Structure 1
Amino acid sequence: MSARKFGVRFLGVSAVLLASLQAEGIDKSMDKSGAFIGAEVGYAAGFTREDPIPTNQQQQTTTQAQNITYPYAALGLKAGYGYYFVPSFGVRAYASYHYGVNGSNGTSTEIEQGGGGSGGGTTTITTNSAMQSIHQVSANVEVVWDFVQLSQASIGVYAGLGAGYGSHTAKTTNPEGAQATITEANLGSGFILPVNIGLEVGIGKHHRAGLNFRIPTIAASFKDNMGLNATYTEFSSRNLITSVGYSYVF
């Protein structure tokens, strides 16, 4: 066989192999693409800030307050579509809803000593309960890189951004005799822009599980007229959500 014929045959076989590998890569990437639904469970840490805003020159003294409340029980739902360009790299877009709740109960005891010679007194026990909750609705876009590829599994990371609306509210209940006093407060609401990062494991075509971090970049805020010398107070809130999740790819 001449060198020329050998070279032609070698180029022909190489072209066929290359085409088959490309087709296999496309088939695998399409296997991993598809619509998906998912759920998450974890906890959230709430970072709140309270800033009184004076509205006249006579108000010279303000008091700022910052608080960290954790952990919240957090739940999340999402639905969207993911597309893989090659088996190791893809993008996805989805809508998500996250909910977090934190409850606490407290008791205060007030003892009043009686006067005169009776030696009597009264004891007043007051119980109260408080519940804080967060809600987030957003649209999200993420880039996915599966850096480990096995025959029926993969390991990867992802990063992306979300944009939407979030709210952080608090409700306090103080029983007073037969009637309870319920106080509700908005600790921050409005536009949110979280950063989403995480680690994922894929099993076959349909199953993906991961460790997820939803990191706030801006605070949702709310201004309230407290009615004290026409002073307005601005509440701002950031919520860090950490969760484990599962998604099913159709």
Structure 2
Amino acid sequence: MKKLMVSGALALALSGVAMAEESGGFVGVDLGVSNSVMNMDAGALGDTIGLNAKAASVGNFRYGLMGGYKWFFTESFGLRAYLQVNNGANQIPAGLNLHETINTLNVMANVDALYNFYASEASSAGLFAGLSFGYAIHYGGIVKDIVDGGLKDPSGFDMGINFGVRTIFAKHHGIEFLNRFGVIGASATTSESGMDVKMSILQPYAFGVRYTYNF
């Protein structure tokens, strides 16, 4: 009888682990810090006439919303897909004690692999890693100056790598510590007087914290 009770308790515990995190939809909000690197390249002639330039911002505040769906194939491994929209501003040095503003609105699709290294009936903890790709809309003072000067708007395709730590508690609530490394930034090339001028804006890193509600 005692063996039967122990076996039943063990089975119940294992079933609780398996049900620790289930497939379902989720929404979230995030706050973080990111930076931008702006590059203007007109080749060898650009070096001669002083047109080539590169400037990087320090970390600046960002905020956003996200929502999607996750699938768990085992008690430890899963996959999620979600849309993410975030916005923020970066200050690019433009001379002694001067800065220009680049505002960036990111509209991104993300796919992350999920791994839970801890699970109980009501909580779990694990890692995530995946890809982020979409459209970066750059606007603000310095972008306006670029367009007014005859160059193309440097908004466009942007791609990065996601990774971080995630937790679930009380079954529905989640906290994540996230990182994103940019690998491809938006760019545009303008032909001026037989010279090609390429403007690009890369978002090398972003990190922050995210709250999720899991349905």
- TM-score w.r.t. the length of structure 1 is 0.68
Query: Is 1:42 matched with 2:32?
Result: yes
The partner residue of 1:199 within 158, 161, 165 is 165
Deviates more, 1:150-159 or 1:237-246: 150-159
Match for residue 107 of structure 2?
137
* Number of the residue aligned with 2:154: 188
Match of 1:61 among 43, 48, 52: 48
1: distance between equivalents of 2:145 and 2:47? 28
Cα distance change on mapping 1:163 and 1:222 into 2, 3 Å:
same
The separation in 2 between residues aligned to 1:105 and 1:195, in whole angstroms, is 27
What's the offset of the Cα at 1:150? 4.0
Shift of 1:218: 1.3
Instruction: Check 1:79–1:159 CA distance in 2 against 1; reply closer, same or farther (3 A cut).
Output: same
Of 38, 42, 48 in structure 2, the residue corresponding to residue 52 of structure 1 is 42
Alignment of 1:17-166 (within 5 A): 24=16, 26-30=18-22, 33-53=23-43, 61=48, 63=50, 64-102=52-90, 130-166=100-136
Residue of structure 2 in register with 1:122 after alignment:
none
SS in 2 for 1:188: coil
Counting aligned pairs with the same residue, the percent is 26
The 3 A distance-change label for structure 1 pair 17 and 245 is closer
Q: 1:59, 1:101 → 2: CA distance?
A: 28
Q: Give the partner amino acid of 2:111.
A: V
- Return 5+ residue gaps in structure 1 as ranges: 1-9, 109-127, 173-181
* 8 Å Cα contact 1:170-1:187 kept in structure 2: no
* Deviation, structure 1 residue 158: 0.3
> Which of 219, 224, 233 is the matching residue for 2:197?
233
- 1:249 aligned partner: 214
Shift of 1:131: 2.3
Structure 2 unaligned spans of 5+: none
Structure of larger gyration radius: 1
**2:184 match: secondary structure:** coil
What is the CA distance between 1:78 and its match in structure 2?
Answer: 0.7
Counterparts of 1:92 and 1:164, CA distance in 2:
16
SS of residue in 2 equivalent to 1:61: helix
2:139 to 157, 163, 169: 169
Render the CA deviation track for 1:141-170: whole Å, top value 9, x for unaligned. 111111122453322110001221113334
Supply the RMSD in Å over aligned alpha carbons. Answer: 3.6
1:79 CA drift (Å):
0.6
**Paired residue total:** 206
| Inter-partner Cα distance in structure 1 for 2:129 and 2:77 | 12
Q: Structure 1 101/59 Cα, relative in aligned 2: closer, same or farther at 3 Å?
A: closer
Give the structure with the higher percent strand.
Answer: 1
Give the letter for the 1:183 counterpart.
D
